[in-house]
Structure 1
Amino acid sequence: MLCAQYNYLLADRFNWYEQNRSPVNACPLVCYLPELRNNPDYYSQKKTLPHLKKTHPWYSEIHSQVLQDVVKRVKVTFDRFLLGDSNGKRSGRPRFKARNRYRTFTYPQMKDGCWRGNLINLPKLGKIKVVLHRPIPDGFKIKTASVTKKADGYYLTLSLEDKTVPEIKPDFNPDKIAGIDMGLKEFFTTSAGVVVNIPQHYRKAQKRLRVLQKRVSRRKKGSNGRLKAVKQLGRQHKKVADKRKDFHFKTANWLLSKYDVVAHEDLNVKGLARTQLAKSVLDAGWSSFLSILTNKAENAGLLVIAVSAHNTTQDCSNCGEKVPKKLFMRWHNCPYCGCSLDRDHNAAINVRNRAEGHPVLKAQRLLSNSRIGCEAYTIPVLRLV
């Protein structure tokens, strides 16, 4: 029902857009003159919900705020198509969703006391048992709840608020800095020469996925057997995605436990995913890993810096001279200074060197030096007293 309402509201916006986007002085000679009406926006479409429950009484079974959240999703989707996001980047034309593509609904507000033990009280649905991923801390208030249907069952996502938690301010050691060079032979190489191997979860699961995909293609469309085969294939893909996500989180934790500042190349992953290396790039999941790394660094008060990837592999990390090399050449030998080391290790050092001139690091070093000077001045006074 939510999917049908989403498609209806999106179609209403498209109808207005197609009929009213042409200005009066540029109207073609032969055209359809629609009935004049205001642009459907968030508030005007929300006002149609009471009438919807009168004409379609079964929509009364859905919580009112869940229906209002559908209107909000349509607004966000259409605004990104016309206006773009905060960076001005516009997305493609919104598509109507099939029934199996609309997987999440959200409760924007949750009442106090909705959580009891391992039960959550969702309006219009009642008390539902939840298998906890981790216990909810004391003092935290549940703000929103989202229910998502995935390949292996339903998942509940909660957003929590605790006003007593202070805002984390960056307080890091600018000298504990590392550069990482992302790769496909190894997942990444640090500027200290540490290599993290790439697990290649998708390639290892390809044999099983091939069997399940054949099973889907051989089933008759619309049959229960095909639906069962599709579910098996979806569970296998989710298993691969969960393994990759677990690897990303553990690797990010390890990296941030050793360094306060991590620098990486500003890669165009979307462009690389259109090349012949697409399968390997997407299997590595660079974008997902860098996003996780950045978020965990912010929560820990640490710093992740993206630097230009131009010639990080070609330039010598010791003397700065350009040493051209092709992709199959995995060793860096500089004829100018005699520097000889692994190609990825050389690139990681270049990434670290470029990050050291970052203005945030310079400011932090100045702050650290001022603290040291202040302590050196006050300690003798305290001894005299």
Structure 2
Amino acid sequence: MRLSYQYRLRPTAQQQAQMEQWLELLRRQYNYRLAERFNWWEQNRCDVNACPLICHLPELKDNPSCYSQQSDLPNSKALFPEYKQVYAQVLQDCVKRVEKAYDRWIKADSAGKRSGKPRFKGKGRYRSFTFPQIRNQNCITGKFIKLPKIGNVKLILHRPLPDGFKLKTATITRKIDGWYLSLSLDDASVPTITPDAPTLDNTIGIDIGLKSFLVTSAGESVEAPQYYRKAEKRLKRLQRQLSRKQKGSKRRAKAVKRVAKAHLKVANQRKDFHHKTANQLITQGNVAHEDLNIKGLAKSRLAKSVNDAGWGQFLQILSFKAAKAGLMTIPVNPNGTTQQCSNCGETVPKTIADRWHSCPHCGLELDRDHNAARNIQQRAVGHPVQALGGDRDTEPEKREAYAVS
């Protein structure tokens, strides 16, 4: 299994200046290679038989590919000798990033969706570079890691690396509060997902929301921390101070750092909360959740609250931790989980303002989020009650027998 471990770096002033120079050179190389692809697209996107009668047909050129652009890197080093200071594989990875961003725009994914047109990187917008191959598996000795052409860089090894791992890639990232190292490891000790089918005993259901961050099928509730809402007043004040500063001045640069640090603190608090909540859930077994359209909800009038909750990041962390523990996360169809009774399967209409589930058919009384979490759990395990939803012709004795089972 591929794992990612992140550590904080403590580079020297010379190493920090060298990495800053690398980022600037890679940013220019990224923009140049992206411009090559844009130029080819503008000249060759129109077919010859679809051109107007009077038009200029430029000389057709070969479509720039990752291999052709990587083969042209020695020419860039000959014209600009400063690129010789950058590790060769780091430059090649920069070209791969261009191809990935360009292909996401030109080609559609498996769902038929295309990403937006990639943009050129402004100054300070290129924040990381990757060593795609770390051949020396013993590059970490004590509190130092040996990076090609950079040397031994001090890192804070706050947690040990797993035994028997195989180091794949290393990414250096510049954030507003310093430099970080992300190691991609291949750990063979991680167990595989058990083939046992999910049951009501080894699976819990969670209903994520905005009033409560989540409610489990056992009735446990986790309150939404709302870190952004709590920091909004301070963020507004810092943003007002930033808007008054003159562009290009040193005071504006300092104000930008203050705003960035405030946003980073909110992001770190939210991520820490997601990790701790996911750790508590996987101790109870497999986790079933709704397969929500989070991107669509993030564009609605609830955008601020949805983004503050960070459902997408939480579900990603949850699935990663479950796979690492030999468990699984089960997404289910969210249609009707709130309206359907989890005891008898009948539909009980509710509005958003109705926070209590009261079934007139079987008399079940409980919170609507708790009822939805039970429905999610039952759908994940294929409980028979879910097959009876809305079927009023079913005999009451049979429905009651299914509900009790």
Q: What amino acid maps onto 2:86 in structure 1?
A: I
The equivalences for 1:139-154 within 5 A come to: 139-154=164-179
> Offset of 1:35 from its aligned partner?
2.1
Matched residue, 1:321: 346
State yes or no: 1:196 paired with 2:222.
yes
> How far does the alpha carbon of each residue in 1:67-109 deviate from its partner, in whole angstroms, 9 at most, with x for none?
0001111111111112233554321111111122211100111
Q: Is the 8 A contact 2:190 2:326 kept in 1?
A: no
Q: In angstroms, what is the RMSD of aligned CA positions? A: 1.6
- Secondary structure of residue in 1 paired with 2:283: helix
The equivalences for 1:361-376 within 5 A come to: none
Matched residue, 1:237: 263
Q: What amino acid maps onto 1:311 in structure 2?
A: G
State yes or no: 1:6 paired with 2:6.
no
Q: Which gives a bigger RCO, structure 1 or 2 (Cα 8 Å, sep 6+)?
A: 2
Q: Which moved more, 1:110-119 or 1:170-179?
A: 170-179
> Offset of 1:127 from its aligned partner?
1.7
Q: What amino acid maps onto 2:253 in structure 1?
A: L
- Secondary structure of residue in 1 paired with 2:212: coil
Matched residue, 1:372: none
Q: What amino acid maps onto 2:277 in structure 1?
A: T
> Offset of 1:142 from its aligned partner?
2.6
> Offset of 1:333 from its aligned partner?
1.2
State yes or no: 1:305 paired with 2:330.
yes
Q: Give me the whole-angstrom Cα distance separating, in 2, the residues matched to 1:205 and 1:3.
A: 33
The equivalences for 1:1-385 within 5 A come to: 1-112=25-136, 113-162=138-187, 165=189, 168-170=192-194, 174=199, 175-258=201-284, 260-357=285-382
> How far does the alpha carbon of each residue in 1:199-237 deviate from its partner, in whole angstroms, 9 at most, with x for none?
111111112111111111111111111111111111111
- Secondary structure of residue in 2 paired with 1:130: strand
Q: Is the 8 A contact 1:171 1:301 kept in 2?
A: no
> Offset of 1:284 from its aligned partner?
0.6
> Offset of 1:251 from its aligned partner?
0.5
Q: Give me the whole-angstrom Cα distance separating, in 1, the residues matched to 2:381 and 2:186.
A: 36
Q: Give me the whole-angstrom Cα distance separating, in 1, the residues matched to 2:190 and 2:215.
A: 35
Q: Give me the whole-angstrom Cα distance separating, in 1, the residues matched to 2:329 and 2:106.
A: 32
- Secondary structure of residue in 2 paired with 1:33: coil
> Offset of 1:140 from its aligned partner?
2.9
> How far does the alpha carbon of each residue in 1:133-157 deviate from its partner, in whole angstroms, 9 at most, with x for none?
3122444343211000111111011
Gaps of 5+ in 2: 1-24, 384-405
Q: Is the 8 A contact 2:93 2:132 kept in 1?
A: yes
Q: Give me the whole-angstrom Cα distance separating, in 2, the residues matched to 1:206 and 1:315.
A: 37
> Offset of 1:162 from its aligned partner?
4.8
> How far does the alpha carbon of each residue in 1:289-340 deviate from its partner, in whole angstroms, 9 at most, with x for none?
1111111111111121111111111111122221111111111111222211
- Secondary structure of residue in 2 paired with 1:4: helix
Q: Give me the whole-angstrom Cα distance separating, in 1, the residues matched to 2:301 and 2:159.
A: 41
- Figure out how many residues of one structure are paired with residues of the other and give that number: 356
Q: What amino acid maps onto 1:97 in structure 2?
A: K
Q: What amino acid maps onto 1:207 in structure 2?
A: K
Q: Give me the whole-angstrom Cα distance separating, in 1, the residues matched to 2:241 and 2:381.
A: 54
Q: What amino acid maps onto 1:92 in structure 2?
A: G
1:262/1:140 CA distance change after superposition, 3 Å: closer
- Secondary structure of residue in 2 paired with 1:181: strand
1:128/1:10 CA distance change after superposition, 3 Å: same
Q: Give me the whole-angstrom Cα distance separating, in 2, the residues matched to 1:147 and 1:3.
A: 14
Q: What amino acid maps onto 2:231 in structure 1?
A: A
> Offset of 1:166 from its aligned partner?
6.2
- Secondary structure of residue in 2 paired with 1:147: strand
1:166/1:218 CA distance change after superposition, 3 Å: closer
Q: What amino acid maps onto 2:97 in structure 1?
A: R
Q: Is the 8 A contact 1:262 1:303 kept in 2?
A: yes
1:277/1:220 CA distance change after superposition, 3 Å: same
- Secondary structure of residue in 2 paired with 1:101: coil
Matched residue, 1:367: none
Q: What amino acid maps onto 1:19 in structure 2?
A: Q
Q: Give me the whole-angstrom Cα distance separating, in 2, the residues matched to 1:31 and 1:124.
A: 51
Q: What amino acid maps onto 1:60 in structure 2?
A: K
- Secondary structure of residue in 1 paired with 2:185: strand
- Secondary structure of residue in 2 paired with 1:121: strand
Q: Which moved more, 1:209-218 or 1:166-175?
A: 166-175
> TM-score scaled to structure 1, two decimals?
0.89
Q: Give me the whole-angstrom Cα distance separating, in 1, the residues matched to 2:297 and 2:130.
A: 34
Q: Is the 8 A contact 2:287 2:329 kept in 1?
A: yes
Q: Give me the whole-angstrom Cα distance separating, in 2, the residues matched to 1:203 and 1:166.
A: 38
Q: Give me the whole-angstrom Cα distance separating, in 2, the residues matched to 1:166 and 1:114.
A: 23
Q: What amino acid maps onto 2:133 in structure 1?
A: Q
Q: Give me the whole-angstrom Cα distance separating, in 1, the residues matched to 2:338 and 2:373.
A: 8
> TM-score scaled to structure 2, two decimals?
0.84
